[in-house]
Amino acid sequence: MEKKDIVKYWKETSDRDYETMIHLFQSKDFHWSLFIGHLVIEKLLKAIFVINNDHNIVPPKTHDLLLLA
C-alpha cells in the first residue's frame, strides 16, 4: 500500500467517525460522542504521522493521543 493510500484511509475513516460523533452529540449521548471524538482525533494524528515519516508509514499501535502528537 502506498503512503497516499494509507493517509486516505485514515482521513476517510476519521470523516465517517466524525459524522457519527455529531449524531451522537445531537442525540445528547455525550459520553459516546466524546469517545468517538477521541477516535476522530486519533485517526487524524495517525494520518499526520504517516505524512511526516518517510521511513515508517505504519503509525504506532496506540490510542495515546499525546504519544501520537
Domain ranges of the chain: 3-68
Q: What are residue 27's phi and psi, to 5 degrees? A: -90, 10
pLDDT digit string, tens, across residues 35-65 = 999 999 999 999 999 999 887 678 999 999 9
30 pLDDT above the threshold of 90: yes
What is the reported pLDDT for 47? 96
Reported residue count of the chain is 69
pTM, two decimal places? 0.91
Alpha-carbon distance of 34 to 21, in angstroms, equals 7
How many helices (H) and strands (E) in the chain?
Answer: 3, 0
What is the reported pLDDT for 52? 93
